[in-house]
A and B are shown apart, each in its own frame.
Chain A
């Protein structure tokens, strides 16, 4: 899709195609609308300025773009917190995430603890599959893995959640 020589107008199409997805991807890592908007801007500006270094033989454009988005979020939190172990909002303690959107905070009450307990990549795959409804092909491009390994990772993560999520949640759900 990105032929450097003959089609330089594609970025507008790519922007339209990915801006929603990248925003959502970042939002799920920040839980704060303004921060997500800012980091989405940063992601696309970086993509624009670094596009000459993009090599489509090495991977899909979406993989490259998601990686920029992921790194942008990591840089944001690590700079803010001066902590090299923080990748996104899920790594913050509850006391630290006071700038999160209140609605999101409330919606996540029940599952936050369990999602926090996952590895960053496992969480990403679950979120992209369940919240974004992405196919494994799309997920594999977003996380830069094969479809098969994404399927495997998702399956294992669901098993882990089944083991760890307490019975009380299931019982509560049965009442619905």
Chain B
């Protein structure tokens, strides 16, 4: 008998000797429990990243409460090297992400922690697509609020030459699953204007001899751009109205040479190490994000100079995906010629409201929506020259980020996160190329109503 089982039985008998007469049954129970033990092994990368995250947290705590918190020096001696490179230029970002006041910086509370406030049922109004402006000719295929999502395969308009009018026939080839109906929780990102006002406040303190900014009243900063004036420097674009920060290469300071694919390209781990280091060096917090993941793109055999890493946003522990079913969050582009980060998008203040909406309980309706192509429907050509069979696999439940544009104000968009099913396409056809790898179906009932989801017109080159 196994030593562990023997010890367990010994302990049990010490409580109740009478159980010994059932030893055979007890052994079988313990054996069955041991056999059922899940194979869960902690990911070493996760352990490392969490440690780095805690180090960063300690650094922030240290700055905010220099004498009160026992973790002021926590990790510092052991891991201080990991944070040696924090650069001054990003103080604007650090301000944005929320830093304390007592070290001379401005504190903006909203960005410094993950906040979700429950605001009751249907609090975001009608979130069906009927309430949105329809996309114009240059907008995302399928309209419906797709703009702004940084996706390598953002649903592009079908721009097939006229002779190749392709219809897609979606069939489900996954495991059986059930939908439970009830309610689902929808999240909406809150914008607020405190960050915008804080920047204006800082500007007001600057004393120029020819204009006094302090005289302007109730000011807000609409946009702000900061340039790093150094070799391989960056430009930082801040949109305080939307609480968004983006970083790009300051092209004036980067060499402009052609790209010859090196004989040995960095592997995924090396690329992620580059982006991890960049984010850590610039103090960009990953507290609310998952670990970095290489964005897979269709390369068509061409070696690209760039590759992207996405750190998915997590809302209440759930990873967010974009409308194409790919992870959605902070996205870092890497230039493979120089092995340097070249862009960062998706840095955002993570303040959300949550609200309950009625979930779709009719599985047939969900499947019908999926077979129409999901959120990015396909036009059905009456005289198609080809029909491609597309097989969908077992869906997974996920939060999908959807941008919705106001019918009244086209510049005003809200970002909601809706529980949805992501059906993977399991037989990607080589040709004709299909511009998606997943089909996404929101689980909020009103979003599936056919009248709210007009099938888009065809886009054909003349």
Contacts and interface: CB of A to CB of B under 8 A. Distances in A.
Given A9-B74, A99-B396, A173-B28, A130 B15 contact: no
Contacts of A169: 28, 32
B29 A158 contact: yes
Given A8-B72, A38-B290, A107 B39 contact: yes
A79 B184 CA distance: 11
B67 to A, nearest CB: 11
B36 A101 contact: no
Contacts of B25: 162, 170
B42 A20 contact: yes
A133 B40 contact: no
B40 A173 contact: no
Q: Is the interface of A mostly helix, strand, loop or mixed?
A: helix
Contacts of A103: 38-39
A12 B33 contact: no
Contacts of A57: none
> Which size class do B's interface residues fall under?
35 or more
Contacts of B72: 8
Interface residues of A, number: 65
Given A9-B73, A20-B42, A49 B57 contact: yes
B74 A152 contact: no
A35 interface: yes
B119 to A, nearest CB: 13
A48 B39 CA distance: 29
A19 B41 CA distance: 12
A82 B180 contact: no
Contacts of B177: 98
A136 to B, nearest CB: 7
B54 to A, nearest CB: 6
Contact of B28 (A34, A35, A49, A170): A170
Contacts of B290: 34, 37-38
B74 A48 contact: yes
B11 interface: yes
A20 B25 CA distance: 32
Contacts of B185: 79-80, 82
B22 A15 contact: no
B19 interface: yes
A31 B38 contact: yes
Nearest to A98: B397
Interface in B312-360: 314, 316-319, 356
Interface string A152-176: 1011001101100100011001100
Contact of A38 (B12, B51, B76, B317): B317
Given A34-B290, A103-B39, A108-B36, A4 B70 contact: yes
B37 interface: yes
A99 B395 CA distance: 10
Given A23-B42, A45-B53, A162-B22, A110 B69 contact: no
Given A98-B177, A158-B29, A11 B74 contact: yes
Interface string A71-104: 0000010011010000000000101101101011
Nearest to A10: B74
B287 A45 contact: yes
B317 A35 contact: yes
B71 interface: yes
Contacts of B206: none
B70 A8 contact: yes
A51 B71 contact: yes
Given A82-B183, A170-B28, 13 more contacts: A8-B71, A38-B290, A45-B53, A49-B61, A52-B69, A79-B116, A101-B38, A108-B38, A130-B33, A155-B11, A155-B12, A162-B26, A174-B28
Interface of A: 2, 4, 8-9, 11-12, 15, 19-20, 23-24, 27-28, 31, 33-42, 44-45, 48-49, 51-52, 76, 79-80, 82, 93, 95-96, 98-99, 101, 103-104, 107-108, 110-111, 126, 129-131, 133, 136, 151-152, 154-155, 158-159, 161-162, 165, 169-170, 173-174
3 interchain residue pairs of minimum CB distance: A155-B15, A104-B38, A4-B70
Interface of B: 4, 8, 11-12, 14-16, 19, 22, 25-26, 28-40, 42-43, 46-47, 50-51, 53-54, 57-58, 61, 68-79, 116, 177-178, 180, 183, 185, 287, 290, 314, 316-319, 356, 396-397
